Structure 1
Amino acid sequence: MATHPSQLAVDMELKKAFQEMQSKMIATTQQLKISDAQIETLKRTMAHSKLVDSEISQLPGGIRVYEGVGRMFLLQPLDVVRSNLTKKIKASDEKIKTIEINKGYLDKSLKESEDSLRELVLSKQQGK
């Protein structure tokens, strides 16, 4: 039984589409894993900042405390440190929301790729 030239072209087209789909799925899956890791890191940062804020909120007003900045510590007024912690929490929360939106786009893109590949396979099967 000889294969028809048009059948060979269809098989090559399907093979190419499957390879592209697989590459896209791998890349998207890696991006989703990176996004999840970033979200977890940001959540830990937020939890740490909230814990520090709750602990230093019990200190008397007007006191100065050390705030970690990179590899050094600065002696700062308590209200400045608490303000910085609040900003850090808010920035982390906004980054999480941005990453979640990006994850939604990645999931949608992955689903659209799967659907288009499914349609291609069905159209090739119906064309036989």
Structure 2
Amino acid sequence: MANQCVDTATLTDIFYALADPTRRDIVSLLGRGPETVSVLAAPFDMALPSFMKHLSVLERSGVIRSDKVGRVRTCELVPASLNDAERWLAEERATWEARTDRMVAFVEKLHQENTRAQGKRKRRQ
């Protein structure tokens, strides 16, 4: 039942990185293209060292990468890093949709059987 094609450690790191709303906002900002740390940090009401911790979590998970040229650090999204998470979610969705389909079929069958049984009881009365 476990998802064998997806590295669990990678998924754990990615989902941990994306669990925080600040980090999700950073990912959204980087979805538009690479940005410097100062541009990324501007909308957030936190000290730069705190913001850098968020970037560090995202970078360790592989969701973003950064490059430093002189005193300027630029970050960019690594879209391919989200493929494992996307694949895992798709497989989970397929599993649950199949279960839901089987449950719907079971309930419909049960309803039909109950309807027939009620019809037989009415005819006997």
For normalisation by structure 1, the TM-score amounts to: 0.41
Query: 1 or 2, which has the higher helix percentage?
Result: 1
Instruction: Return the index of the structure with the highest Cα Rg.
Output: 1
Q: State the TM-score, normalizing by the size of structure 2.
A: 0.42
